[in-house]
């Protein structure tokens, strides 16, 4: 838990929620073939929210991350490269930030900029709905909003696997 740091509070809501979910066991996790839970969240730096339903018809890679997550420092820039490698009309990365303070996400993104939408979930309601237990956690959704594959944590080897899954869905 050395990457967990909440400078403004003694207790961090999101890490606490993740710990609580981790003791719930695997029966709580969303699985391949499950419909993606709906959400509508505010976009970082924009006035209009983005709903998952707005992306129907596109393949979506959905990533839950936070500024205190060590592996997120590696994954977000690699996802930026991945987004550029696929047609934006058919594929979209969405990153849901779980920091309690928007300023923490902004500081992180100054060092690790991305062009894909960053959504804000400071209370962790969407993370709870998606049953997130590990940071980062990611889901690949087909054009109908069905979970095709999920990844808990991040390893460099995931990138090739994710790209192969996206290519298969695009054909």
DSSP assignments along 54-121, one per residue: GGTTSEEEEEEE-TT-HHHHHHHHHHHHHHHTS-TTTEEEEEEE--SSHHHHHHHHHHS--SS-EEE-
For residue 131, cis peptide bond before it (omega within 30 degrees of 0): no
pLDDT at 30: 85
What CATH number corresponds to the domain at position 62? 3.40.30.10
- Enclosing domain of residue 136: 14-24+35-46+53-170
User: Which residue ranges in the chain fall short of pLDDT 50?
Assistant: 1-7, 9-11, 16-17, 19-27
Residue 118 lies in a domain: yes
61 found inside a domain = yes
Q: What is the pLDDT of residue 139?
A: 97
Give the pLDDT confidence score for residue 15 in this predicted structure. Answer: 54
Residue 128 lies in a domain: yes
% of the chain residues with pLDDT over 70: 83
**Residue 1 belongs to a domain:** no
Task: Please state the domain count of the chain.
Answer: 1
């Amino acid at each position: 838990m050395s990457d967990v740091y909440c400078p403004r509070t003694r207790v961090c809501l999101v890490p606490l929620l993740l710990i609580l979910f981790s003791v719930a066991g695997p029966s709580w996790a969303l699985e391949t073939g499950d419909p993606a839970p709906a959400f509508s969240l505010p976009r970082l730096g924009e006035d209009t929210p983005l709903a998952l339903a707005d992306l129907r018809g596109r393949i979506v890679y959905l990533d839950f991350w936070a500024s205190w997550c060590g592996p997120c420092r590696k994954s977000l820039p690699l996802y930026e490269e991945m987004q550029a490698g696929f047609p934006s009309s058919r594929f979209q990365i969405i990153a849901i930030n779980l920091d309690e303070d928007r300023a923490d996400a902004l500081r992180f993104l100054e060092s690790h900029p991305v062009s894909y939408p960053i959504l804000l979930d400071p209370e962790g309601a969407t993370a709870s709905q998606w049953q997130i237990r590990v940071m980062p956690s990611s889901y690949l959704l087909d054009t109908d909003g069905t979970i095709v594959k999920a990844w808990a944590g991040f390893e460099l080897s995931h990138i090739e696997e994710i790209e192969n899954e996206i290519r298969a869905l695009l054909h």
